[in-house]
Chains A and B, each alone.
Chain A
C-alpha cells in the first residue's frame, strides 16, 4: 500500500512530538487505543486563560497513518478554543491525509484522543465532561 505524500511528510517530520506536564491544571491529556490493537495515542493540550489551546503535543505507538493523524491533529488544535477542538471530525483528517478505508480507524483514534484530552481538561477545571456519540468506525 502506498502512502500519500502528506502521511509520509508527517511521518518523517512529525509536528509537536512530546510531553506536557500532565500535573498542571491547564493541561488535558487523552490516552486512547491499546497496545494489543497496535495503536496507542497520547494527545495533550495546554489551555490559556482565554480558553485557547496554546500548545498541543502527542506521542503515538502505531503505523504511519496513526502517527500522521495525531501529528496533524496537534497542528489543527493550536489556536483553537476547547469548544472548537471537539468539533474536529475524523473525516476531515481522512480527507486531509488521503487515508485509505483500512486506515480510517487511525483518524477515529485521533478524534477520540482530542475528545479525551478536552474532557480531561474539563474535569480538572470543574467542568462537566462532554458526552460524545460513539464514533462510527471502531
Chain B
C-alpha cells in the first residue's frame, strides 16, 4: 500500500473516532478502540513486511523478527520487565491459562495448592476449576464489601503445599485495585509464586512487576487501545527464575512456552499501544479520572444510588453504580442506542444470574440487578459525559415511576415483610 493510501485509511479511522459522537462508548472495560497510531504502525506488517518472525534465512523473516523484538521491548518497558520475560499469546485468557496450568504442572513436585479469590475473571476461575479436576486444590478467598481481599485471610490460607497465589490486579466490573505489593511481600516470605491477571490495570495505572513483586502476569492489547487477539504473559527470569509448562505443542516459539507463529502485526500494534500508554498515562489519567468523577458525582445525586466497590483503591476510568428499584437491563434499554455501558443485571447475561462479582461484595441480588458499569476511555469527551448524565438520570426517574418497588419504598413499606413469589 502506498504511503498516501495508508495515511488516507488512518485519517478515515481517526475521523470516525473523533467526529462520531453517537453512540457514546462507555464500555472500555470490555474493549477499547485501536488508537489510530497503533493501526498505522501495524499496517505495513500485513502487506510488505509480512514475514514469519521465525524465518531465519531471509530478509522477510529478519524484518518481522526485528519488529517483534522492538515490540517486546515496548511491552516490557511499560511493566518494568526485561524483554526476555514477555511471552506473546493470543490474549489474556490464554495467558491466564498458561500461567495457572503451566505453574501447576511445572511445580507439581512442590505442591498442588493454589490461592485465588472469588471475584477473579472467569478466565482465572474456570482455569482454577480445571485444576481442581486435575487433582489440584484451590482456595477462593472472599472479598470484603470494598472488593478487596483480607491479608490475614490470605496468610491463613497458605499451606505447605501452596505453590501459587493468583490474584487479579484490578477487577473488571468494579475497577477495584488489589494490594499487590502486600500480597507479593507475604508470598515472597513464604516462597510462593504470585500470578496476577492485570488485564484491566496495565496501561491504565503504573504497573511494575519488580516494584509490585509479581512473578507472572497476564495482560492484553485490546484493553489498552491495541488490537484484539494479542496478549502477553510476563514470566519472571530472575529472583526467582520461573518456568511454566507449555500448554500447546508445536514449534517451540516464545522460548518453548508458547508455540505458534507469532501474530506480527498484532504484536507490533501491542507494542505501539504500550508505548503510547507509557508516554501518555499520566496526562490521560488526570483527564479521564476528572471526567469519571464528574459523571459519578452527577449520577450520585440520584436518590438511592450506590457506588459498588472501593472508591479509594480503584482504576481511574471506572465507576459501577446501582440505582435501587430499577432493573439494569430495563435501564440500559432507555439509552443503549446512544450510550454503550454494561450492567450486572441477570437479564444481560445468558445465565439469568446477576453478577457474581457484585454478589461477592455482599450486595443483595436486587442491587446487583440494578447496577451499571461505566468505563471511560481515551476518546471520551466532556459533552459525552454531560449527555450520559442526563440520559441516565432521566431513564432512572422514568423507570422508577413505573416501578412497584419504588412506590413501596416511597410509601415506607418494608419490602422484607412481603412474601415474594420466587420464580
Q: Which of the residues A3, A40, A112 comes within 8 Å of B404, measured between beta carbons?
A: A40
Q: Is B4 an interface residue (CB 8 A)?
A: no
B404 close to A39 (CB less than 8 A): no
In the bound complex, how far is the Cα of B330 from the Cα of A102, in angstroms?
A: 15
Residues of B within 8 A of A67 (CB): 330, 402
Question: Which residues of B, 336-363, contact A by the 8 Å Cβ criterion?
Answer: 345-347, 350, 352, 354
In the bound complex, how far is the Cα of B325 from the Cα of A105, in angstroms?
A: 20
Q: Across the two chains, which residue of chain B brings its CB closest to A59?
A: B404
Residues of A within 8 A of B345 (CB): 38, 63
Residues of A within 8 A of B352 (CB): 38, 102
Cβ distance B223 to chain A, nearest Cβ, rounded Å: 24
Question: Which residues of A, 89-119, contact B by the 8 Å Cβ criterion?
Answer: 102, 105, 108-109, 112
Residues of A within 8 A of B423 (CB): 32-34, 37, 105, 108-109, 112, 138
A38 close to B420 (CB less than 8 A): no
Q: Is B327 an interface residue (CB 8 A)?
A: yes
Cβ distance B356 to chain A, nearest Cβ, rounded Å: 14
Residues of B within 8 A of A31 (CB): 404, 418
Contact A63 B350, CB 8 Å, known A33-B420, A34-B421, A37-B365: no
B330 close to A66 (CB less than 8 A): yes
B327 close to A61 (CB less than 8 A): yes
In the bound complex, how far is the Cα of B123 from the Cα of A3, in angstroms?
A: 30
B365 close to A33 (CB less than 8 A): no
Contact A17 B401, CB 8 Å, known A36-B365, A37-B423: yes
Cβ distance A14 to chain B, nearest Cβ, rounded Å: 6
Q: Which of the residues B347, B366, B403 comes within 8 Å of A60, measured between beta carbons?
A: B403
Interface residues on A, range: 20 to 34
A35 close to B366 (CB less than 8 A): yes
B404 close to A63 (CB less than 8 A): no
B401 close to A36 (CB less than 8 A): no
Q: Is A62 an interface residue (CB 8 A)?
A: yes
Q: Across the two chains, which residue of chain A brings its CB closest to B329?
A: A63
A34 close to B422 (CB less than 8 A): yes
B420 close to A63 (CB less than 8 A): no
B404 close to A61 (CB less than 8 A): yes
**B333, B401, B418 pick with most chain A CB within 10 angstroms:** B333
Contact A63 B330, CB 8 Å, known A36-B365, A102-B350: yes
Q: Which of the residues B330, B333, B415, B422 comes within 8 Å of A37, measured between beta carbons?
A: B422
Interface residues on B, range: 20 to 34
In the bound complex, how far is the Cα of B334 from the Cα of A129, in angstroms?
A: 38
Map CB proximity to A onto B393-423 as digits: 1 under 8 Å, 0 otherwise: 0000000011111110000000100101111
Q: Across the two chains, which residue of chain B brings its CB closest to A32?
A: B421
In the bound complex, how far is the Cα of B416 from the Cα of A39, in angstroms?
A: 16
Q: Across the two chains, which residue of chain A brings its CB closest to B331?
A: A63
Q: Across the two chains, which residue of chain B brings its CB closest to A1?
A: B348
Q: Is B217 an interface residue (CB 8 A)?
A: no
Q: Is B369 an interface residue (CB 8 A)?
A: yes
Q: Is B364 an interface residue (CB 8 A)?
A: yes
Q: Is B326 an interface residue (CB 8 A)?
A: yes
In the bound complex, how far is the Cα of B327 from the Cα of A11, in angstroms?
A: 13
Q: Across the two chains, which residue of chain A brings its CB closest to B400?
A: A61
Cβ distance A72 to chain B, nearest Cβ, rounded Å: 14
Residues of A within 8 A of B354 (CB): 38
In the bound complex, how far is the Cα of B63 from the Cα of A61, in angstroms?
A: 59
Q: Across the two chains, which residue of chain B brings its CB closest to A17?
A: B402
Residues of A within 8 A of B415 (CB): 35
In the bound complex, how far is the Cα of B345 from the Cα of A67, in angstroms?
A: 15
Contact A64 B420, CB 8 Å, known A35-B405, A37-B365: no
Cβ distance A52 to chain B, nearest Cβ, rounded Å: 25
Residues of A within 8 A of B364 (CB): 35-36
B421 close to A64 (CB less than 8 A): no
Q: Is A19 an interface residue (CB 8 A)?
A: yes
Residues of B within 8 A of A34 (CB): 420-423
In the bound complex, how far is the Cα of B398 from the Cα of A14, in angstroms?
A: 11
Q: Which of the residues A39, A102, A105, A108 comes within 8 Å of B327, measured between beta carbons?
A: A39
Q: Is A86 an interface residue (CB 8 A)?
A: no
A59 close to B403 (CB less than 8 A): yes
Map CB proximity to A onto B304-338 as digits: 1 under 8 Å, 0 otherwise: 00000000000000000000011101100110000
Known pairs A11-B333, A17-B402, A61-B406 / 20 extra A-B pairs, C-beta < 8 Å: A14-B402, A19-B407, A34-B421, A35-B415, A35-B420, A36-B366, A37-B346, A37-B423, A38-B327, A38-B329, A40-B420, A60-B402, A61-B326, A61-B405, A62-B327, A63-B327, A64-B329, A66-B327, A67-B402, A112-B421
The 3 A-B residue pairs with the shortest CB-CB distance in the complex, in nearest-first order? A34-B420, A36-B365, A35-B366
